[in-house]
Structure 1
Amino acid sequence: MKGQRSRSGGYHKVGFEGGQMPLQRRLPKIGFYSRRGKLRVEVRLHELDLADAEQVDLDALKAKGLVPRTAQRAKVIASGEIKKAVKVKGLAVTPGARKAIEAVGGSVES
């Protein structure tokens, strides 16, 4: 047997292409996956109705499974309709969502 593999110490690095520029170096570097995005969650207005609680906070949303257990922050966005009055506590709220919550008799606390 002849060749590099039959010799002692004969190996090449993973991705080595015989002197040609390796694929992982030929391609451009693009972006990354932010770990921060996993911790923040958006909640739509109609999902507040699904919480079935008079006071909606992050713990209530987690208990109903509307947000992941790993979420650290949630923001209520004006998407969909809210039909019952709820008290939103400790969640970030967009201006449009705040108007919609207060229009049905609810309130928002920071």
Structure 2
Amino acid sequence: MTELSTPGQASQSDTPVLAELKLLRASIDNLDAALVHLLAERFKCTQKVGELKAAHDLPPADPAREAEQIKRLRRLAEEAQLEPQFAEKFLNFIVEEVVRHHKLIAAAVAKGA
């Protein structure tokens, strides 16, 4: 007979499940930390791109490059068995934020000129 437990209270038979859940969550926490650090590094690079674009009066957005990146990321997602639509939404969110930063950098450079 399976022991019943109330919400928030584990039975003896749940102990291996809870231990596995704890390990999986620890892995998720580590991956989340890695993602944050990778995004920080990515934004450091895109910040420099924004500064270079602003210094040379280049547009903050590059639709052709963005389209190439989306195509590339969708292919990578498929290879990694990740839903391509999710990967595209994720990249679009990042690109939108990068372009916003590039516009702010360009405005600051124009104001200082």
TM-score (norm 1): 0.30
By relative contact order (CA 8 Å, sep 6+), the higher-ranking structure is 2
Greater Cα radius of gyration, structure 1 or 2: 1
Which structure carries more helix by proportion?
A: 2
Which structure carries more strand by proportion?
A: 1
TM-score (norm 2): 0.30
